[in-house]
C-alpha cells in the first residue's frame, strides 16, 4: 500500500500532448477517479503509471520510489481493463494464480491466497470455469481478484465497469468501493461517467485535452467547479449573470419553483419524470434561448408543460465560474 505522486508528467505523440504537465498526489488508501471525455488522456495517464508507456518528461513516484524508468514488471501494480483481459486458455483459478506463480509463492500458500481472493469477489465455486463460460460481471470480478491477490502497492482500473449494463454497473460500483476500502489499497480509477466518479471517489481529477482541470472531493467539484468545463462535465449546469458582469453556476436541485411569490417569472417548456425526480426545462421571461433546468423531488407540487411558475435561488448557491 503506497501513495502515488505525479510531477509534471507529459506524454507527447509528435507535437500532440496526450498528457500535459500533470501533477497529482494520491494519498495512501485513497480512491481517486480520473474523469474526462473520450480522448482526454485518461488511459495514457494510467499506462504511464503502470509502466506500459514512458513519459516524455516528468517523474512518477509510487510509495516514494521513483519508478519513472522502472519496467511494468517491477512496479507491483494491480491492473484492470474494461475488456477484462483474462487469459482465455486458463481457468478462473489459474488466472488468479498467475501473479503468485510469477512470484514463486509455494503451491499451498498460492492456492489459499487465490481462493481467498475469489471468495472476496464472491466467485468461490467457479474456480474451474473458463473465462468464456462467465458473464461480463463475473469476468470483471476474476480480473479484480487477479489484480489484488498479490497485495499490489496500488490498483489501477481503466473503465472497469464500462462494458457492463447499467444495473450491474451500479451493483459492482458498491462492491468495488467496499473491496477497495477493506483492502485499503491506493486506487486510481478511470471513468468517463460522472455519476460513477461522484459516487465512488474520495477525490476526482477532471481531465480535458491532457490537462488537469480540477482535483477535488466530489461535492466540491460538483458545486464549486474550477471552470466551465468541469461545471458542465459533472452534471447539468445553469449559468446566471452576476451584477459584476460575470457568470455563476447554479445546479438544478438548488432552484426553487413556486406557483406564486418572489422570483423570476418563467414558463415550463418541458416536464420530464425521472422516477425519484422531476426535471423542468424553464424559459425565463425576457432571457436567451437556452432553457434553465430545475430538478425537484417527485413528492413536491408538480407543474405541467406550459404552466407559468416563479423561479428563485439562494445567493449562497451561486458559484462564480470564469467564462
The candidate with the shortest Cα–Cα distance to 251, out of 229, 223, 276, 274, is 223
Helix axis angle, 136-148 to 107-120, nearest 10°? 130
Site for Mg ion in 39-58 (CB under 5 A): 43
CA distance 9 to 62: 14
Smallest distance from the beta carbon of 309 to other proteins, in angstroms? 51
Q: Is 182 in the site for ligand ADP (CB under 6 A)?
A: no
Name the binder of 36 from other proteins, ligand ADP, Mg ion, none, CB < 5-8 A by kind.
Answer: ligand ADP
Name the binder of 169 from ligand ADP, other proteins, Mg ion, none, CB < 5-8 A by kind.
Answer: none
Number of residues that bind Mg ion (CB under 5 A): 1
Question: Which segments of the chain does DSSP mark as H helices, in order?
Answer: 42-50, 92-102, 107-120, 136-148, 166-183, 194-200, 218-223, 228-233
CA distance 11 to 50: 14
Number of residues that bind ligand ADP (CB under 6 A): 10
Name the binder of 52 from Mg ion, ligand ADP, other proteins, none, CB < 5-8 A by kind.
Answer: other proteins
Residue among 2, 43, 138, 191 that touches ligand ADP (CB under 6 A): 43
- Comparing CB distances to other proteins, the nearer of 143 and 207 is 143
Name the binder of 131 from other proteins, Mg ion, ligand ADP, none, CB < 5-8 A by kind.
Answer: other proteins
Question: What does the per-residue mask of binding to other proteins show for 3-22, with x meaning CB under 8 A?
Answer: --------------------
Q: Tell me which DSSP letter residue 291 carries.
A: P
Residue 226: C-alpha distances to residues 11, 88, 134, 192, 272 (Å):
24, 44, 43, 18, 29
Grid coordinates representing 292? 434553465
Q: Is 249 in the site for other proteins (CB under 8 A)?
A: no
Q: Of all helices (H) and strands (E), which one includes residue 132?
A: none
Grid coordinates representing 30? 485513497
Q: Is 77 in the site for other proteins (CB under 8 A)?
A: yes
Smallest distance from the beta carbon of 68 to other proteins, in angstroms? 16
Site for other proteins in 130-149 (CB under 8 A): 131-132, 143, 146
- Comparing CB distances to Mg ion, the nearer of 51 and 291 is 51
Q: Is 42 in the site for ligand ADP (CB under 6 A)?
A: yes
The candidate with the shortest Cα–Cα distance to 154, out of 26, 260, 310, is 26
Contact status, residue 194 vs residue 233, Cβ threshold 8 Å? yes
Grid coordinates representing 131? 473465462
Q: Is 18 in the site for ligand ADP (CB under 6 A)?
A: yes
- Comparing CB distances to other proteins, the nearer of 72 and 302 is 72
Sites of contact with other proteins (CB under 8 A): 47, 50-52, 71-73, 75-79, 81, 83, 85-89, 98-99, 102-103, 131-132, 143, 146, 150
Amino acid at each position: 500500500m503506497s501513495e502515488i505522486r505525479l510531477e509534471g508528467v507529459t506524454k507527447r505523440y509528435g507535437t500532440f500532448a496526450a498528457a500535459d504537465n500533470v501533477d497529482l498526489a494520491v494519498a495512501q488508501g485513497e480512491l481517486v477517479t480520473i474523469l474526462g471525455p473520450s480522448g482526454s488522456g485518461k488511459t495514457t495517464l494510467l499506462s504511464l503509471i503502470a509502466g506500459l508507456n514512458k513519459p516524455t518528461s516528468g517523474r512518477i513516484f509510487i510509495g516514494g520510489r521513483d519508478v519513472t524508468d522502472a519496467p511494468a514488471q517491477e512496479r507491483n501494480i494491480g491492473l484492470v481493463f474494461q475488456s477484462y483481459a483474462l487469459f482465455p486458455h486458463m481457468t478462473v483459478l489459474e488466472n488468479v494464480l498467475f501473479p503468485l506463480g510469477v512470484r514463486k509463492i509455494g503451491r499451498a500458500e498460492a492456492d489459499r491466497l487465490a481462493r481467498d481472493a475469489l471468495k472476496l469477489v464472491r466467485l468461490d465455486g467457479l474456480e474451474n470455469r473458463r473465462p468464456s463460460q462467465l458473464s461480463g460481471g463475473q469476468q470483471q470480478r476474476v480480473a479484480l481478484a487477479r489484480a489484488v491477490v498479490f497485495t499490489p502497492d496500488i490498483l489501477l482500473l481503466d473503465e472497469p465497469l464500462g462494458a457492463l449494463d447499467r444495473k450491474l454497473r451500479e451493483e459492482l460500483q458498491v462492491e468495488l468501493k467496499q473491496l477497495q476500502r477493506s483492502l485499503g489499497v491506493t486506487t486510481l480509477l478511470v471513468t468517463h461517467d460522472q455519476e460513477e466518479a461522484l459516487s465512488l471517489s474520495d477525490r476526482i481529477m477532471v481531465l480535458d485535452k491532457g490537462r488537469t482541470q480540477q482535483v477535488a472531493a466530489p461535492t466540491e467539484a460538483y458545486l464549486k467547479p474550477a471552470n466551465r468545463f468541469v461545471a458542465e462535465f459533472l452534471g447539468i449546469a445553469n449559468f446566471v449573470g452576476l451584477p459584476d458582469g460575470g457568470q455563476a453556476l447554479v445546479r438544478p436541485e438548488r432552484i426553487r419553483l413556486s406557483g406564486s411569490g418572489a422570483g423570476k417569472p418563467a414558463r415550463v417548456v418541458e416536464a420530464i419524470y425521472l422516477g425519484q425526480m422531476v426535471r423542468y426545462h424553464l424559459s425565463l421571461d425576457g432571457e436567451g434561448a437556452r432553457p434553465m433546468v430545475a430538478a425537484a423531488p417527485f413528492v413536491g407540487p408538480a407543474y405541467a408543460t406550459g404552466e407559468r411558475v416563479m423561479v428563485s435561488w439562494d445567493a449562497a448557491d451561486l458559484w462564480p465560474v470564469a467564462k
